[in-house]
């Protein structure tokens, strides 16, 4: 620590977009950073996701329609939501707690907490790309398309609720012919679409690698193959012990380990659980480039232009974060999307991937200091880790160097619901 009590050095555990963003913004404050990652940079949920920068859609996952959809999905093995039926007391306790938040009062309350961070999400990306992160964000609408016009009612209602909550998202209704004029790959089976304006997308793997390169160029160290085992706290800082290899020591530590957050954060008093809601993706060749992301809400399939191909993503699978890829989930995505797209070669799938998205039962991330002074967490973003990752890094870095949590982070206190007396409160 320096004379003002600010950290000189920091270790960030986790090399995804959230952890790397924390590291980059700490460097902005003059902090020397080391990032440790158990696999490779961006190997988790940061690589194969749809890559949407969609603050207009960054909303709490628990809400009434999700609960209704979840009950229907339990009876359909090919449904986009997959919950194993074998006994798992911890998973069912998590899902019970999640279901308790699937009410409109709870959704409105949580939505209010998202408003400030959603408002600043794209600006944080612009800070990165204007200051050395050699990657681009692409402005484009998201085309939400429906096989039958009446299926659009749920999304239209959700968008109206988002606007009523104070988060502006502009959308325009298009006929099937209008959709195909804008996006020729949408098939004749689609009757209607809602075009969501003001959104962006990225190649998430390339962006994460560019962010890591920028951290290195600015003097940061990134150590891969480092699996953190435990933390030791002392009067001169915090040591991160590994299962193999030398430990690393710093004034302060950030745990940004995604769906594995519980392993290190729970012993520090963070009782809000994090479970892996795993998503699948793959890319396929297209006869011509797709002009913008396309979403099929009725079957929960998201498609994004990707390196001259089309990345197709879907599924929310509640299995262990490290469970192997299940080819049946990929087949279910193909079966759902095949009749809704044209000019796609479904036989030439590449880069088939599964990644664990860290989900909390109340739909809010965990960002802030643990009960151990100098140890922070940044995770639990669910489906919005890419959209909110850079802003999370910007705000948490500010808290770490000033000792005061920005107001936008207060609702994401990792000790919400308990142990508040153990955490040092910000001014």
b (16+ CB within 10 A) / e for 60-91: bbbbeebbeebeebeeeeebbbbbeeeeeeeb
Cβ atoms of 353 and 320 closer than 8 Å: no
277 contacts: CB under 8 Å, gap ≥ 6: 316, 317, 318, 356, 357, 358, 359, 382, 383
Instruction: At 156, list the tokens.
Output: 């239209």
Q: Looking at residues 17-40, what average pLDDT do you find?
A: 97
The string of pLDDT tens digits covering residues 35-77 is 999 999 988 889 999 999 999 899 999 988 777 666 566 656 6
**What is the DSSP code (8-state) at residue 273?**
-
Contact 325, 306 (CB under 8 A): no
Structure tokens at 8: 């000189």
For 140-162, write each residue's pLDDT tens digit: 999 999 999 999 999 999 999 99
Encoding tokens for residue 248?
């690393």
Q: What is the DSSP letter of 40?
A: S
> Which pLDDT value is given to residue 75?
55
Compute φ and ψ for 285, nearest 5 degrees.
-75, 150
Mean pLDDT of 254-272: 95
Q: What is the pLDDT of residues 216-242, one digit of tens each?
A: 999 999 999 999 999 998 877 999 999
Strands 52-53, 248-250: pairing is unpaired
Share of the chain above pLDDT 70, in %: 94
Contacts 24+ apart (CB under 8 A), 347-351: 348/284, 348/285, 349/282, 349/283, 349/284, 350/282, 350/283, 350/284, 350/309, 351/48, 351/281, 351/282, 351/283
Query: What pLDDT sits at residue 73?
Result: 60
Place of tokens 């949580």: 110
Residue, of 260 and 420, whose pLDDT is higher: 260
Separation between Cα atoms, residue 15 and residue 224, nearest integer Å? 8
Q: Name residue 276's beta-bridge partners.
A: 358
Give, in order, the Cα–Cα distances in Å from 287 to each of 96, 108, 267, 345. Answer: 45, 43, 52, 8
Please write the tens of the pLDDT for every residue from 382-425: 999 999 999 999 999 999 999 999 999 999 999 986 433 333 33
Percent with pLDDT over 90 in the chain: 85
Chain segment 173-202, per-residue pLDDT in tens: 999 999 999 999 999 999 999 999 999 999
Cα 327–Cα 332–Cα 338 angle in degrees, nearest 5? 120
- 253's enclosing H/E stretch is strand 252-255
Residue 244 pLDDT more than 90? no
From the number of C-beta atoms within 10 Å of its C-beta (0-12, 13-18, 19+), residue 243 rates as exposed
Which domains does the chain possess? 9-46+205-270+362-422 (3.50.50.60), 64-102+144-198+275-359 (3.30.9.10)
321 is written with which tokens? 């974060």
Where b means 16+ CB within 10 Å and e means fewer, 24-34 reads bbbbeeebebb
Q: Helices marked H in 101-230 — which ranges?
A: 104-129, 152-164, 176-182, 204-217
Q: Is residue 372 packed enough to be buried (19+ CB in 10 Å), middle (13-18) or exposed (0-12)?
A: middle
DSSP state of 341: B
Q: Is the pLDDT of residue 427 over 70?
A: no
pLDDT on residue 326: 93
Please give the radius of gyration of the chain, using alpha carbons only, rounded to the nearest integer.
Answer: 21
Q: 249: pLDDT confidence band, cut at 50, 70 and 90?
A: very high
- Average pLDDT (9-33) is 97
Distance from C-alpha of 354 to C-alpha of 124, rounded to nearest angstrom: 27
Where residue 245 falls among pLDDT bands split at 50, 70, 90?
Answer: confident
Q: Name every residue whose Cβ is closer than 8 Å to that of residue 392 and which is 6 or more positions away in sequence.
A: 18, 21, 22, 117, 365, 367, 378, 381
Q: What is the pLDDT of residue 423?
A: 34
Q: What is the pLDDT of residues 94-136, one digit of tens each?
A: 999 999 999 999 999 999 999 999 999 999 999 999 999 999 9
**What pLDDT is stored for residue 70 in this prediction?**
63
CA-closest candidate to residue 177, choices 166, 165, 191: 191
Tens digit of pLDDT for each residue in 68-102?
666 566 656 677 788 877 778 999 899 999 999 99
Helix H, strand E, coil C: the string for 234-252 is ECCEEEEEECCCCCEEECE
Q: How much is the pLDDT for 69? A: 64
β-strands 309-317, 275-285: how paired? antiparallel
Confidence class of residue 270 from pLDDT cuts 50, 70 and 90? very high
In 3D space, the residue among 17, 4, 32, 10 whose CA is nearest the CA of residue 375 turns out to be 10
């Amino acid at each position: 620590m320096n004379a003002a009590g600010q950290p000189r050095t920091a270790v960030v555990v986790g090399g995804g977009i959230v952890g790397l963003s924390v590291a980059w913004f700490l460097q902005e404050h003059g902090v020397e950073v080391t990032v440790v990652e158990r696999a490779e940079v961006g190997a988790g949920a940061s690589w194969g996701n749809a890559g949407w920068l969609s603050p207009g859609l960054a909303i709490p996952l628990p809400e009434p329609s999700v609960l209704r959809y979840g009950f229907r999905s339990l009876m359909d093995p090919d449904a986009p939501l997959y919950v194993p039926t074998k006994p798992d007391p911890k998973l069912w306790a998590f899902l019970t707690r999640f279901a308790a938040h699937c009410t409109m009062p709870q959704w409105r309350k949580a939505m209010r907490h998202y408003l400030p961070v959603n408002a600043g999400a794209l600006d944080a990306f612009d800070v990165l790309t204007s200051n050395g992160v050699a990657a681009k964000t692409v402005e484009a609408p998201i085309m939400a398309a429906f096989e039958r016009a009446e299926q659009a009612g749920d999304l239209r209602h959700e968008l109206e609720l988002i606007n009523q909550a104070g988060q502006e998202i502009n959308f325009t209704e298009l006929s099937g012919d209008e959709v195909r004029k804008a996006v020729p790959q949408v098939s004749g089976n689609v009757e209607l679409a809602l075009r969501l304006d003001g959104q962006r997308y990225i190649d998430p793997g390339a962006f994460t690698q560019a962010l890591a390169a920028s951290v290195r160029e600015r003097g940061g160290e990134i150590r891969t193959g480092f699996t953190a085992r435990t933390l030791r706290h002392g009067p001169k800082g915090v040591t991160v012990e590994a299962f193999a290899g030398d430990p690393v020591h710093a004034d302060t530590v950030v745990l940004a380990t995604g769906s594995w957050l519980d392993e290190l954060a729970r012993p520090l008093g963070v009782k809000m659980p994090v479970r892996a809601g795993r998503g699948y993706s793959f890319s396929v060749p297209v006869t011509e480039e797709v002009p913008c992301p396309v979403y099929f809400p009725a079957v929960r399939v998201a498609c994004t232009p990707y390196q001259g191909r089309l990345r197709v993503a879907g599924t929310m699978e509640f299995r262990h974060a490290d469970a192997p890829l299940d080819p049946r989930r990929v087949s279910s995505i193909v079966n759902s999307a095949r009749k809704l797209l044209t000019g796609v070669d479904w036989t030439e799938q590449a880069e088939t991937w599964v990644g664990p998205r860290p989900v909390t039962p109340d739909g809010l991330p965990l960002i802030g200091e643990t009960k151990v002074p100098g140890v922070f967490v940044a995770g639990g973003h669910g489906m919005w880790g890419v959209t909110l990752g850079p802003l999370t890094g910007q705000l948490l870095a500010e808290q770490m160097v000033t000792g005061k949590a920005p107001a936008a982070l207060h609702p994401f206190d990792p000790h919400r619901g308990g142990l508040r007396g153990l955490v040092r409160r910000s001014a």
